[in-house]
Each structure stands twice: as structure tokens, then as C-alpha cells.
Amino acid sequence: MSSTPLGSTPFPIRQTDGTPESRLAAARIALPAAPPVPIGSFTNVRECGSLLYVSGQGPVLQDGSLMRGKVGGDVDAEAARGHAEIVALNILAALRGHCGSLDAVGGVVKLLGLVNATPDFARHSFVIDGASDLLAAVFGPAGVHARSSFGVSSLPNNITVEVEAIFERG
């Protein structure tokens, strides 16, 4: 998936030079060859006008395995933050699959991050920052976005995090 360890952004978040594809290449981050297949009656990306709506993606590894568990219970916040990075990679794979190249994407508009958390867990924003930081690094200043994040009592297949996103066409 990546030659860069999860949890460490390999270049400045607000890097302005280059394109999304060149930033990924420079960081030696390889996206999944294909995005995860939807687990319901929906599509990964729906384009409407100049906006690209990416359905909720989960932490699915390239071999199809899922990162599962309850954050604040059997999964700590730091591991879940890494899972949110995996989700961001899957979001990027879905975008590339739809647009042909991430260079056709103008930037990130908004994320909605869900954390499968124990009732007393309070670090939802920290967890979803894993996805936000990676997307901001890939898209530079156009990657800084609006966002909501919160905890939920469960997610499909007991995954740790789910993120949906809105992007603009380039």
C-alpha cells in the first residue's frame, strides 16, 4: 500500500508545488489498484455538476481484510488514526477510478468521519485527522477542508472508521 509508515505524513501538508499525482509519487505512496467494492446498493463516486461525492469508505487493506474493533476499547486512538489514513487512500483510489487521475480533482470540500467508539471515547477529531492530513498533503492548500467527526455505536462489519467525502472537479 505505502512505503511510508502510516501515521507519518511524508511531506509538508501545505506543499504548493506539484500536482496531486506528483505529490503521491514523490512520497512513494501507492494507491490500491482498485477501490473497495461497495457493500450495498450504491456507487463509490457520484458526480453532480462540479462536485464529486465519495460514498463512505472503510479501512480495507489491499488483500481485502478489514481493520475492525471498537476505538477506545480494543483499538487505541493512534491505531485508529492509521486506519483513517487507509480510508483516505481508498477514497483516493475511488476518485482516481472515477476521474482517471487525481489531477482532475480540484480539491477537497468536506469530510464526514465516523469512529466506531466506546461511549467514553472523546478523541474523534484526532482519529479522523489521519484522513484529513493525508488528503491535505496530497492536494496542498486545496486539500484543507471543512469537516465533521463523531463517534457511533457501530459501523458496518465492525470497522473502526468510515469517512465520506465531497471533492470539486479540477
Q: What is the pLDDT of residues 49-78, one digit of tens each?
A: 999 999 999 999 999 999 999 999 999 999
Q: Which three cell numbers stand for residue 121?
A: 471515547
Confidence of residue 15 (pLDDT cuts 50, 70, 90): low
Q: Are strands 51-57 and 146-152 parallel, antiparallel or unpaired?
A: unpaired
pLDDT at 138 over 90: yes
Q: Which three cell numbers stand for residue 47?
A: 458526480
The whole-angstrom distance between residue 145's C-alpha and the CA centroid of its chain comes to: 13
Quick: pLDDT tens for 75-119: 999 999 999 999 999 999 999 999 999 999 999 999 999 999 999
The total of structural domains in the chain comes to: 1
Residues recorded for the chain = 170
Distance between CA atoms of 9 and 84, rounded to whole angstroms?
13
pLDDT at 34 over 60: yes
Residue 120 lies in a domain: yes
Domain of 64? 50-169
The number of CA neighbours under 13 Å toward the Cβ of 168 is 12
Residue 6 lies in a domain: no
pTM of the full predicted structure? 0.90
SS3 of the chain: helix, strand, coil, percent, to 5: 35, 30, 40
Confidence of residue 39 (pLDDT cuts 50, 70, 90): confident
pLDDT at 11 over 70: no
pLDDT at 8 over 80: no
E strand or H helix at 25, and its extent? helix 20-26
Residue 130 lies in a domain: yes
Residue 54 lies in a domain: yes
Residue 33 lies in a domain: no
CATH of the domain at 136: 3.30.1330.40
Give the dihedral sign, CA 32/63/80/10: negative
Quick: pLDDT tens for 113-137: 999 999 999 999 999 999 999 999 9
Q: Which residue has the higher pLDDT, 14 or 131?
A: 131
Task: Name the nearest CA neighbour of 68 among 56, 55, 79.
Answer: 79
Residue 45 lies in a domain: no
State the pLDDT at residue 72.
Answer: 98
pLDDT at 12 over 90: no
Residue 19 lies in a domain: no
Residue 65 lies in a domain: yes
State the pLDDT at residue 46.
Answer: 98
Q: Are strands 146-152 and 161-169 parallel, antiparallel or unpaired?
A: unpaired
